[in-house]
Each structure stands twice: as structure tokens, then as C-alpha cells.
């Protein structure tokens, strides 16, 4: 509801209401003198969210209006809070000097600050990109565009609706523009959804807007001339920036079209289950895979690593190249140390260059830029000296030292410039004779004033007379009241203090004018010179951005090498087959959390021909979940281009990784655990391919035992028997009944986590072995967890009774689950010495013919047994 207008409104109030009406849904910070004020509903909201005082001021006949404000210099902190809470804020400044204004001061909105359009370094996380995305929905295709205005990355894509939301989730944009409509906007797990004018998404207008922006007559070169929804989304982004952040448009000089086909698709569940970017229970990065892998030294490197982890590759060649890079730094210990030390001195070159391009760079930004650039020649030299330039030329190819830019900044900017312009002293002495002259003149005048002080003391005989300066009154001669009678007649009174009077003389006034004029001219000139320097830097900024990108690549390679050396990782050998062979694999996060080298490594062999599905049983706490995730993480790390925690690993590149971890309540969305579990399982069964990796942990747990076992069994059978979805699968379950599946599904193999008992206590060995668990040890684990001894004892009794009842299941009573006919073999009470005979075999010493004969014999005996 807009606040009522009133005939008695003051002009300022009228102006406020007018501007406010132009920015619906946005909080308006209205500059009044040294304060930003908010009014009406904004004031109530701001007072509540920022915990500042809510006051009111009288207004016409309507009584009073709510008001909340704060000093202008505190704006950054308050902005950060509001943006962090998902609000949008329009900054309305005074556009003219209040002293010179006739009538009400002219005001206007200079910027709308939204989560997706932030440029302030103090409001941004330097280690991740800050994306503004636009989502153009369509019936059979959707368009997505995204931009990071702090780095100029701008890209578009078009894809089927069922993949569009996943792509938006992957981007993790801070803000997503959608056309305003009656339909509910997409439900994203993070980021602010901003509905905007549907016109902004108009396909033809959008296309034209994009072409006009880049000054082209076809979008062919951008690769999206036939992707109308992608360009519509791009158009919406440009339209939004034009309103919220016009200067940023100048930075948008590139746009690329991408396809999600080249990346492994990671759905939300998988990202969360594998704890790639944050621990599932905490919102921090600590304990995530990223936190282990990110040893980068620069913000550009950190952002690149994160992007790569968000989009693991499916193609061999680029991954081998990345791995070559890591290996170069892995083997070159000296180079790594040297490079990382240099990188440590490199600031956020990418965002700095963009601040220069956007016209918002400050003097100190240019100094930082120079520091960053000056590391480049040394880095290049080190890489050449250690032979990396030959082995991986692409690593240092993009690095340009840009000596002209360095020299320009060195010549133009003072060594320790002030944070802002109003003090002067930004431009180095000697850079501009005109500026030096102006400064000299001001210097002469200052000296003259000092001389004047000396002379006036002598002339008046007042020893304590002094010349001073203050911002409001300018230069003055101060005489304390005790000497008032000695003040000469040519002194003009300027200001009266408690114990003193301040005066000026015509001579002092003249010097003051020349100082102030000189200073003002010097300041103007400094600003102008600074602008020119920035302009020259912008002209060469493509080379700077290319260097920034190259530094990021080097930083990631050196960082991953550092991690690999510190944690004893190996280079994975990548394959286009479906095999996955890991020797002594470890979980990268858990092994560090244990910290003491007590992590037990385990092997993995999976492929679609022999062991497609590993069915893993073992008691709770045995290490099943850890193992499952470890296999998925090793695969993922390999496809990000990282070394992996194992003593060796062959990774057949996968197209998708699915994970389903059972029995997690999704209270947030209000769905029952079981429903969520089944929806996710269904999605896996619909989308998996023989090149996928599927991780299923305890599925079917959210329902009754019999239901659970039946569903779990059917799922395994389906994955095994449907060639189209025959993905490599790790299936962990505590239903040891399921192990009979291996008896009739040839590519299902049983594994178990070994456990021993020591004086009635379970000891977990954390080692995976072929075979099936014989029992679930639940009561032992409960005892370990501290259940009172009486309860554990009683549970054992109950279990015993249940087990004996189950074996003697009466006719008509609830039967034990009837095993499938072909699986009966495994359930026979006695195998008639068959296993003893098997154990006695020594395959290594047999000829193939002997082996085959023995196999036939054994099979015949087994068949006879089964018929009994
Ligand atoms: P499960 O899924 O079988 O219930 P988890 O995978 O959750 O078991 O592991 C239980 C505990 O054992 C975890 O706290 C983990 O730290 C530890 N653990 C798991 N695997 C290993 C291992 N290979 N070496 C050492 N400790 C492990």
C-alpha cells in the first residue's frame, strides 16, 4: 500500500513519494544531509531488521510518519545486512550541492543494490562467484543466462525444462530473474527470486537488446542465434542491469553459449549427500570436499576450483590436461613452493580489473593491480626454469606481464595514496607538471601563511598568537582573551570562542583564497588524471583479464598438487571404459577428520561386465556409508581433474553420479521420508545409464521391513536386468537377506565389512571383504552407544525368541520371506561339504582344463543338492 499523499506534503516528502513509487518492492535509502533516511513501512522494516531506533516526524494533517535513519558513512554495513537477508535497496542520493540548491535539493536513485548486482568487495565473498541469473521458461525449452558483474563472466544456455531447474540449482545464483506471472516461481534452495516485467523476457526485443548492446547484427558469433529462449534470458539480464546498475553494462563485453552436456550432472541430493560444498547439517564449508581441496592462494583460483567442482567433466582430453598441470606442480616441489609464495601476493586481479572497467576503482585498487601484475614475470620465469613452460605450455600461455600498465601505475600513483580523493595526494609527484605547479603554488601560500604568523607575532607582541585552519571558517588568526587589548585595528573578527577570539586580515584572506583555489584545482586535476590512467588500463584490460584467468588455472593446479602431496594422493588413470578400479582408496574428508592415520583404506572393483553391483552388508557403524561416499568422491575428484586419495585408481569416466541415502527426513519440504526416498529412487531408475555411478545407501528403510526388503530387491534386479540403466552400483544395506541376490544375478557381488568380537564386544575392522554379513550386530552397537546393560540384555533375549520363532514358522503364520527359487542354494542348511571342497581348491596350480572339469563336477553336485 503506497502511503497516502497529502496536500500538506512538504516538497521533500512529495519528492520522496514520487521516487519511492518508481521502485516497488525495494527499500529506499533517501539521503538527507549526512543521513540516509527511510520512511513509512520501509522505516518499520529497516528498524526491525537493522535494530535501529524507529522514530517519527510530524507530517501535515496526517499526524506523524515513521522514520528510521543512520549516518551516511555507515551505509555499507547496513546494506550488507539487508542484502544478506534477501532485500533489495535503492540508494537515492542528493544530485546537487545542498547549499547551491534552489528549493528542494535534486535527488535521484543512483543504484539499486540487489544480491545479484553487488560490486562492493566488503559485501562479496571473494572465494566464490556472485551470479545474477535469468530464467526464461518455455513449454519445451527453457533459457538460462547468468552473469557475474564483478568478473564479466556472462553465459547463456537453452535446455529442456526438466533439466533447467537442476542447472539453476547448480549455478547457485545469488539472484534469479523470472518473468512476473500468476504461476508460482521456481522453488530454489538458495538465492533470491526476483519477478520482473514479463516484457523484459520478450524474445524478439531481448534479441535486439543483446545485439544493440554488443553492436552486432547477428548473434552467430555468440553461438546463440538459434536459441531464442537463451537470448530472451540474456535480454532480461541487460534490462535489469540498465535499471539497477547502469555502469556495470560497460563491463559486459563478452557472452558465451554453453551446454550442460559436457558436464557430469549432479543433482541436489548428490551434492548434499556427498557434502561437496558444505556439511549437510551445518551451513559452513568446513568438513566439505571443497574445504579439503581448496588450497588455492588467490580469490580467482578459489572461484575457479569451485566452478570446476560444480561442473566435473565427462571428456578425457581436457581432464588429462588438467591432471598434467597438477602433476607438474606435484613433482616440482621447489616450483610449487615458489609459485605458491608468489600467488600469495597476488590480489583479486579479476575483480580489480573489472572495478577499473566499471569506473569504480579507487586509487588503492590500482596499486593492488600493480602488485598483482608485478608477480607475473617472476612466475613465468620460475615456470620456464622448472621446465613447466615446455611440458604444459598452456599453463603459462595466457600470462601477460603487461609492463606498460605496471609502469603507468608506478609513474602515476603515489606510493601510499589516501583511500579517497578528497584529501589529494593520489597522483605521484613528477607525473604531471601542471599538477606539480598547482601544488607548489599551494605550498608557497602555506609557507607565506607561516611567515605571516611570525611577522604578526612580532608586530603585535602577542607571543601566543597563532594561525590556524578549520573546515568551516577557513584560515584565522587566534588571540587568547588575555591579550585582547593588543589586537591591532586592521584585524577583522571572524569567530568568538570561550577563551579566545579569531580574526582575519586582508592578506590572510588572499593567501587563503589562493590555497583553496589551488587545492580545488589540484583535486580536480588529480581526479581527471586518475580517470585518464584508468582509461589507459581499460584499453589493455583484455590482456589483464587473460592473465587473471591464467593465474587462476595455475593457482588451482598448484593448490591441488599441494593437497595431493600433503595427503598422499595419486594421479588417477582415466579411461573411457566403464571400469572403476581403486586400490587402497580413502575418504578424503574422513581421513583428515580422524587425523591420526587410523583411516583404513579399501579397494573397489566395479565394471558393467563382471561386478556391476556391489551389495554391501555389515552392521551399523561398520563403515558402509563412508565407503560408498569415498568411491563417489574419488570418481568425482578424478573428473574434476584432481589427484585422488588411493594408492592407485583407474576411473572409467562416468556421465552422472546418483546418490540416494535412505532415512533422512526432509522436514523442510514436508514430504515423508519414505516418499522422498522413493521419488529419488524413481529418478535414478529413469535416468541412469551404463556409464553412470549409482550409490544407494539403505534404501527401503523408511517403511516396514518386508516392504523395504522387497523394494530394495526389486530395485537391484531392475538395475541389473535393464541394459539401458545398467549402471555401476554400490548398494549398502543392513538387510542381510538381500545377499541371496548374488546367487541368481551374476553381476551382483556380495561384500561385507568385517567385524570381530572381543569378549562380547564388537570390534569394527573397517575393512571390506567379499562375502555377506551373517547378522546385523544391532544390539552390540546399541550397547556400544551406551544403552543400559539391562536393556541390551533384554533385547538379546527378545531377538533370540524371534529368531527361533522365525525358523519354526508355522503353516499359515506369517512366513519368513520366501526366497526366489534360484536363490535357494545359498539358504540350504547344509551344503554337504561343498564349501569345504571349494576352499581346498588351489586355482593357481590348476590347468584351465582341470579347472573346468572341477567346475562341472561341483555344479552337478550342487544341482543334486538343490533338488533334495
Ligand atoms: P555405516 O554406514 O556402516 O553405519 P559409517 O560409514 O557411518 O558406518 O561409519 C561409522 C564410523 O566409522 C564413522 O564415524 C567413521 O568415522 C568411521 N569409519 C568409517 N570408515 C572408516 C575407515 N575406513 N577407517 C576408519 N574409520 C572409519
pLDDT of residue 667: 45
Distance 312 CA to ligand 1 centre (A): 26
For ligand 1, whether the C-beta of 600 sits within 6 Å is yes
Residue 18 in contact with residue 52, Cβ under 8 Å?
A: no
For ligand 1, whether the C-beta of 264 sits within 6 Å is no
For ligand 1, whether the C-beta of 590 sits within 6 Å is yes
Question: Which range scores top for mean pLDDT: 89-98, 192-201, 303-312, 846-855?
Answer: 303-312
Distance 620 CA to ligand 1 centre (A): 9
* pLDDT mean over 623-648: 96
* pLDDT mean over 254-267: 90
Residue among 275, 590, 595, 626 to mutate when testing ligand 1 (max atoms within 8 A of CB): 626
Residue 238 in contact with residue 137, Cβ under 8 Å?
A: no
Whether residue 285 is predicted with pLDDT greater than 80 in this model: the reply is no
Number of other CB atoms surrounding residue 542 within 10 Å: 13
Residue among 598, 623, 629, 631 to mutate when testing ligand 1 (max atoms within 8 A of CB): 623
Distance 606 CA to ligand 1 centre (A): 21
Q: Reduce the DSSP state of residue 63 to 3 states and report it.
A: coil
Whether residue 316 is predicted with pLDDT greater than 60 in this model: the reply is yes
For β-strands 656-661 and 693-697, DSSP reports them as parallel
CA distance 327 to 333: 11
pLDDT of residue 826: 36
pLDDT of residue 57: 85
Instruction: Give the residue among 322, 356, 340, 324 at the shortest CA–CA distance from 250.
Output: 356
CA distance 783 to 788: 7
Q: Reduce the DSSP state of residue 769 to 3 states and report it.
A: strand
CA distance 597 to 194: 49
Instruction: Give the residue among 656, 443, 423, 634 at the shortest CA–CA distance from 526.
Output: 423
Residue among 281, 287, 590, 646 to mutate when testing ligand 1 (max atoms within 8 A of CB): 590
Ligand 1 atom nearest the C-alpha of 619 is 3
Paired strand residues for 666: 671
Give the model confidence (pLDDT) of 773-794 as tens digits.
666 566 766 776 677 777 777 7
Ligand 1 atom nearest the C-alpha of 590 is 16
Phi, psi (5° rounding) for residue 332?
-90, 85
Give the model confidence (pLDDT) of 499-550 as tens digits.
899 999 988 888 888 888 888 888 899 999 999 999 999 999 989 999 999 9
Distance 627 CA to ligand 1 centre (A): 8
CA distance 673 to 659: 15
Give the model confidence (pLDDT) of 456-499 as tens digits.
999 888 888 999 888 778 899 999 988 888 888 889 998 888 88
- pLDDT tier at 702, thresholds 50, 70, 90: low
Q: Is 499 left (phi over 0), alpha (psi -120 to 50) or beta?
A: alpha
Distance 626 CA to ligand 1 centre (A): 5
Distance 276 CA to ligand 1 centre (A): 18
For ligand 1, whether the C-beta of 766 sits within 6 Å is yes
Mean residue pLDDT of the chain comes to 86
For ligand 1, whether the C-beta of 297 sits within 6 Å is no
Distance 629 CA to ligand 1 centre (A): 11
Residue 255 in contact with residue 210, Cβ under 8 Å?
A: yes
Count of helix runs (H) and strand runs (E) in the chain: 28, 27
pLDDT of residue 234: 97
Ligand 1 atom nearest the C-alpha of 594 is 16
For ligand 1, whether the C-beta of 625 sits within 6 Å is yes
Distance 780 CA to ligand 1 centre (A): 16
Distance 622 CA to ligand 1 centre (A): 6
For ligand 1, whether the C-beta of 630 sits within 6 Å is no
Instruction: Give the residue among 169, 331, 717, 802 at the shortest CA–CA distance from 731.
Output: 717
For ligand 1, whether the C-beta of 624 sits within 6 Å is yes
| Percent of the chain at pLDDT exceeding 90 | 49
Distance 771 CA to ligand 1 centre (A): 19
Q: Is 759 left (phi over 0), alpha (psi -120 to 50) or beta?
A: left
Closest C-alpha to ligand 1, atom 19 = 623
For ligand 1, whether the C-beta of 622 sits within 6 Å is yes
For ligand 1, whether the C-beta of 733 sits within 6 Å is no
Whether residue 389 is predicted with pLDDT greater than 60 in this model: the reply is yes
CA distance 276 to 170: 12
Helix or strand run (H / E) with residue 57: strand 55-58
Give the model confidence (pLDDT) of 401-439 as tens digits.
899 999 999 999 999 888 877 778 899 999 999 999 888
- pLDDT tier at 236, thresholds 50, 70, 90: very high
Instruction: Give the residue among 748, 751, 752 at the shortest CA–CA distance from 823.
Output: 748
Distance 624 CA to ligand 1 centre (A): 7
| Percent of the chain at pLDDT exceeding 70 | 91
Whether residue 373 is predicted with pLDDT greater than 90 in this model: the reply is yes
Closest C-alpha to ligand 1, atom 12 = 623
- The set of residues, in sequence order, having a beta carbon less than 8 Å from that of 508 and lying 6+ positions away, is 449, 452, 467, 475, 476, 477
DSSP calls for 726-743: --EEEEE-S-GGGGGGGG
First and final CA of the chain: distance in angstroms?
84
CA distance 662 to 647: 30
For ligand 1, whether the C-beta of 755 sits within 6 Å is no
DSSP letter at 357 equals H
* pLDDT mean over 296-315: 96
The stretches of 468-584 forming alpha helices (DSSP H) are: 506-539, 541-567
Distance 765 CA to ligand 1 centre (A): 10
Higher pLDDT, 58 or 805: 58
Give the model confidence (pLDDT) of 322-337 as tens digits.
999 999 999 999 999 9
Q: Which three cell numbers stand for residue 49?
A: 531488521
Q: Reduce the DSSP state of residue 849 to 3 states and report it.
A: helix
Whether residue 868 is predicted with pLDDT greater than 80 in this model: the reply is no
Whether residue 813 is predicted with pLDDT greater than 60 in this model: the reply is no
Whether residue 208 is predicted with pLDDT greater than 60 in this model: the reply is yes
Helix or strand run (H / E) with residue 602: strand 602-606
Residue 617 in contact with residue 739, Cβ under 8 Å?
A: yes
Instruction: Give the residue among 469, 466, 476 at the shortest CA–CA distance from 504.
Output: 476
Closest C-alpha to ligand 1, atom 20 = 623
Closest C-alpha to ligand 1, atom 14 = 621
- pLDDT tier at 662, thresholds 50, 70, 90: low
For ligand 1, whether the C-beta of 389 sits within 6 Å is no
The dihedral formed by the CA atoms of 390, 395, 396 and 397, expressed in degrees to the nearest 10: 90
Distance 563 CA to ligand 1 centre (A): 23
Closest C-alpha to ligand 1, atom 5 = 623
Over 112-181, what HEC string results? EECHHHCCCHHHCCCCCCCCEEEEECCCCCEEEEEEECCCCEEEEEEECHHHHHHHHHHHCCCEEEEECC
Whether residue 823 is predicted with pLDDT greater than 70 in this model: the reply is no
For ligand 1, whether the C-beta of 623 sits within 6 Å is yes
Distance 222 CA to ligand 1 centre (A): 49
Instruction: Give the residue among 50, 49, 28 at the shortest CA–CA distance from 39.
Output: 28
CA distance 21 to 90: 12
Instruction: Give the residue among 489, 429, 493, 485 at the shortest CA–CA distance from 461.
Output: 485
* pLDDT mean over 141-170: 92
CA 469 to each of CA 16, 449, 512, 589: distance values in angstroms, whole numbers, following the listed order: 38, 11, 10, 63
Distance 19 CA to ligand 1 centre (A): 60
Closest C-alpha to ligand 1, atom 23 = 600
Instruction: Give the residue among 89, 79, 146 at the shortest CA–CA distance from 113.
Output: 89
Give the model confidence (pLDDT) of 121-143 as tens digits.
888 889 999 999 999 999 899 99
CA distance 131 to 142: 18
Residue written as cell 573397489? 604
Number of other CB atoms surrounding residue 341 within 10 Å: 14
CA 316 to each of CA 241, 308, 572, 853: distance values in angstroms, whole numbers, following the listed order: 38, 15, 12, 43
pLDDT of residue 668: 47
Residue 149 in contact with residue 248, Cβ under 8 Å?
A: yes
Distance 305 CA to ligand 1 centre (A): 28
Q: Give this prediction's pTM.
A: 0.82
Question: Buried b / exposed e across 776-793, counting CB within 10 Å, b at 16+?
Answer: bbebbbebeeeeeeeebe
Whether residue 809 is predicted with pLDDT greater than 50 in this model: the reply is no
Distance 716 CA to ligand 1 centre (A): 24
Ligand 1 atom nearest the C-alpha of 622 is 3
Distance 635 CA to ligand 1 centre (A): 19
Distance 597 CA to ligand 1 centre (A): 14
Whether residue 114 is predicted with pLDDT greater than 80 in this model: the reply is yes
Whether residue 812 is predicted with pLDDT greater than 60 in this model: the reply is no
Whether residue 95 is predicted with pLDDT greater than 70 in this model: the reply is yes
Ligand 1 atom nearest the C-alpha of 587 is 23
Residue written as cell 579439503? 292
Number of other CB atoms surrounding residue 337 within 10 Å: 14
240-249, 314-323, 564-573, 810-819: lowest mean pLDDT where?
810-819
Instruction: Give the residue among 68, 82, 5, 72 at the shortest CA–CA distance from 38.
Output: 68
Angle at which helix 363-385 crosses helix 506-539, to 10 degrees, equals: 40
Distance 698 CA to ligand 1 centre (A): 15
Q: What is the helix, strand, coil percentage profile of the chain, to 5?
A: 50, 20, 30
Q: Which three cell numbers stand for residue 156?
A: 547463456
Ligand 1 atom nearest the C-alpha of 698 is 2
Give the model confidence (pLDDT) of 673-692 as tens digits.
677 777 788 888 888 999 99
For ligand 1, whether the C-beta of 287 sits within 6 Å is no
Q: Distance between alpha carbon 414 and the CA centroid of its chain, in Å?
A: 36
For β-strands 602-606 and 580-585, DSSP reports them as antiparallel
- pLDDT tier at 579, thresholds 50, 70, 90: very high
DSSP letter at 62 equals G
Residue written as cell 541436489? 268
DSSP calls for 257-311: E--GGGB-EE-HHHHHHTTSSS-SSSSSSTTSHHHHH---SSHHHHHHHHHHHHS
Instruction: Give the residue among 484, 640, 617 at the shortest CA–CA distance from 563.
Output: 640
Closest C-alpha to ligand 1, atom 16 = 590
Residue written as cell 517519527? 56
Whether residue 448 is predicted with pLDDT greater than 50 in this model: the reply is yes
For ligand 1, whether the C-beta of 661 sits within 6 Å is no
Closest C-alpha to ligand 1, atom 17 = 623
- pLDDT tier at 806, thresholds 50, 70, 90: low
Over 175-229, what HEC string results? EEEEECCCCCCCCCCCCEEEEECHHHHCHHHHHHHHHHHHCCCCCHHHCCCCCHH
Ligand 1 atom nearest the C-alpha of 598 is 25
Distance 725 CA to ligand 1 centre (A): 29
Amino acid at each position: 500500500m503506497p502511503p497516502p499523499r497529502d496536500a500538506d506534503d512538504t516538497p521533500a516528502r512529495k519528492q520522496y513519494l514520487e521516487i519511492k513509487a518508481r521502485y516497488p518492492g525495494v527499500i529506499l535509502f533517501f539521503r538527507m544531509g549526512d543521513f540516509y533516511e527511510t520512511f513509512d513501512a520501509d522505516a518499520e522494516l529497516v528498524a526491525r531488521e537493522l535494530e535501529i531506533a524507529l522514530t517519527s516526524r510530524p507530517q501535515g494533517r496526517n499526524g506523524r510518519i515513521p522514520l528510521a535513519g543512520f549516518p551516511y558513512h555507515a551505509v555499507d554495513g547496513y546494506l550488507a545486512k539487508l542484502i544478506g537477508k534477501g532485500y533489495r535497496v535503492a540508494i537515492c542520493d542528493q544530485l546537487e550541492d545542498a547549499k547551491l540548491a534552489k528549493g528542494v535539493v535534486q535527488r535521484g536513485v543512483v543504484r539499486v543494490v540487489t544480491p545479484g548486482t553487488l560490486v562492493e568487495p566488503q559485501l562479496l565473498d571473494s572465494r566464490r562467484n556472485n551470479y545474477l541469473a535469468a530464467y526464461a521458461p518455455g513449454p519445451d525449452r527453457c533459457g538460462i543466462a547468468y552473469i557475474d558483474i564483478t568478473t564479466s563472466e556472462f553465459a547463456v544456455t537453452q535446455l529442456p525444462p526438466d533439466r533447467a531447474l537442476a542447472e539453476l540449482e547448480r549455478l547457485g545464483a545469488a539472484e534469479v530473474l523470472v518473468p512476473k506471472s500468476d504461476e508460482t516461481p521456481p522453488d530454489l534452495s538458495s538465492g533470491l527470486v526476483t519477478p520482473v516485467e514479463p516484457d523484459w523476457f520478450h524474445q524478439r526485443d531481448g534479441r535486439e537488446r543483446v545485439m544493440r548492446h554488443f553492436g552486432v547484427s547477428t548473434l552467430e558469433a555468440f553461438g546463440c542465434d538459434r536459441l531464442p529462449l537463451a537470448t530472451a534470458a540474456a535480454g532480461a539480464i541487460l534490462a535489469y542491469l540498465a535499471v539497477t546498475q547502469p555502469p556495470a553494462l560497460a563491463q559486459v563485453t563478452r557472452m558465451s553459449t554453453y551446454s550442460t552436456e559436457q558436464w557430469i550432472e549432479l543433482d541436489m541430493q548428490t551434492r548434499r549427500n556427498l557434502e561437496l560444498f558444505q556439511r549437510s547439517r551445518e551451513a559452513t564449508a568446513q568438513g566439505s570436499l571443497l574445504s579439503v581441496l581448496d588450497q588455492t592462494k588467490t580469490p580467482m583460483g578459489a572461484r575457479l576450483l569451485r566452478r570446476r567442482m560444480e561442473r566435473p567433466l565427462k571428456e578425457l582430453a581436457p581432464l588429462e590436461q588438467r591432471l598434467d598441470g597438477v602433476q607438474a606442480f606435484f613433482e616440482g616441489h621447489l616450483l610449487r613452493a615458489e609459485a605458491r609464495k608468489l600467488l600469495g601476493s597476488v590480489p583479486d586481479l579479476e575483480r580489480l580489473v573489472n572495478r577499473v572497467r566499471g569506473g569504480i576503482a579507487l586509487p588503492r585498487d590500482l596499486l593492488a593491480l600493480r602488485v598483482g601484475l608485478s608477480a607475473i614475470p617472476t612466475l613465468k620465469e620460475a615456470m620456464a626454469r622448472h621446465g613447466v613452460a615446455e611440458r604444459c605450455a598452456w599453463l603459462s600461455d595466457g600470462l601477460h606481464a603487461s609492463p606498460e600498465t605496471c609502469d603507468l601505475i608506478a609513474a602515476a600513483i603515489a606510493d601510499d595514496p589516501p583511500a579517497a580523493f578528497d584529501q589529494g595526494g593520489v597522483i605521484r609527484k613528477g607525473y604531471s607538471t601542471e599538477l606539480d605547479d598547482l601544488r607548489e603554488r599551494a605550498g608557497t601560500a602555506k609557507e607565506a601563511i607561516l611567515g605571516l604568523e611570525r611577522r604578526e607575532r612580532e608586530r603585535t607582541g602577542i607571543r601566543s598568537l597563532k594561525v590556524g585552519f578549520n573546515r568551516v571558517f577557513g584560515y584565522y588568526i587566534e588571540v587568547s582573551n588575555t591579550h585582547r587589548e593588543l589586537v591591532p585595528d586592521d584585524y577583522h573578527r571572524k569567530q568568538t570562542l570561550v577563551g579566545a577570539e579569531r580574526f582575519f586580515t586582508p592578506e590572510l584572506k588572499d593567501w587563503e583564497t589562493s590555497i583553496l583555489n589551488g587545492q580545488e584545482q589540484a583535486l580536480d586535476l588529480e581526479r581527471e588524471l586518475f580517470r585518464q590512467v584508468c582509461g589507459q588500463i581499460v584499453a589493455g584490460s583484455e590482456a589483464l583479464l587473460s592473465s587473471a584467468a591464467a593465474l587462476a588455472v595455475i593457482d588451482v593446479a598448484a593448490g591441488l598438487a599441494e593437497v595431493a602431496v600433503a595427503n598422499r594422493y595419486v594421479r588417477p588413470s582415466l579411461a573411457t571404459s566403464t571400469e572403476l578400479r581403486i586400490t587402497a582408496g580413502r575418504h578424503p574428508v574422513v581421513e583428515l577428520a580422524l587425523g591420526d592415520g587410523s583411516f583404513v583404506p579399501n579397494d573397489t572393483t566395479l565394471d558393467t561386465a563382471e561386478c556391476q553391483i556391489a551389495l554391501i552388508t555389515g552392521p551399523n557403524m561398520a563403515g558402509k556409508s563412508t565407503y560408498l561416499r569415498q568411491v563417489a568422491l574419488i570418481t568425482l575428484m578424478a573428473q574434476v581433474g584432481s589427484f585422488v586419495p588411493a594408492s592407485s585408481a583407474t576411473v572409467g569416466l562416468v556421465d552422472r553420479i546418483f546418490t540416494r541415502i535412505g532415512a533422512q527426513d526432509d522436514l523442510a519440504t514436508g514430504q515423508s521420508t519414505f516418499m522422498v526416498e522413493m521419488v529419488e529412487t524413481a529418478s535414478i531408475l529413469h535416468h541412469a545409464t551404463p556409464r553412470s555411478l549409482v550409490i544407494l545407501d539403505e534404501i527401503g528403510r523408511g517403511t516396514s521391513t518386508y516392504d523395504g526388503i522387497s523394494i530394495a530387491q526389486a530395485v537391484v534386479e531392475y538395475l541389473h536386468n535393464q541394459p539401458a540403466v545398467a549402471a555401476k552400483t554400490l548398494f549398502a544395506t543392513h538387510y542381510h537377506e538381500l545377499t541371496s541376490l548374488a546367487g541368481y544375478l551374476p553381476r551382483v557381488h556380495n561384500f561385507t565389512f568385517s567385524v570381530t568380537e572381543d569378549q562380547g564386544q564388537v570390534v569394527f575392522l573397517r575393512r571390506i571383504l567379499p562375502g555377506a554379513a551373517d547378522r546385523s550386530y544391532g544390539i552390540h552397537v546399541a550397547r556400544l552407544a551406551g544403552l543400559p546393560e539391562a536393556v541390551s540384555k533384554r533385547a538379546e533375549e527378545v531377538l533370540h525368541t524371534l529368531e527361533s520363532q522365525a525358523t519354526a514358522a508355522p503353516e499359515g503364520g506369517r512366513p519368513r520371506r520366501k526366497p526366489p527359487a534360484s536363490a535357494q542354494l545359498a539358504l540350504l542348511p547344509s551344503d554337504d561339504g561343498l564349501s569345504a571342497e571349494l576352499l581346498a581348491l588351489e586355482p593357481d596350480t590348476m590347468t584351465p582344463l582341470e579347472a573346468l572339469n572341477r567346475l562341472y563336477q561341483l555344479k552337478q553336485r550342487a544341482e543334486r543338492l538343490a533338488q533334495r
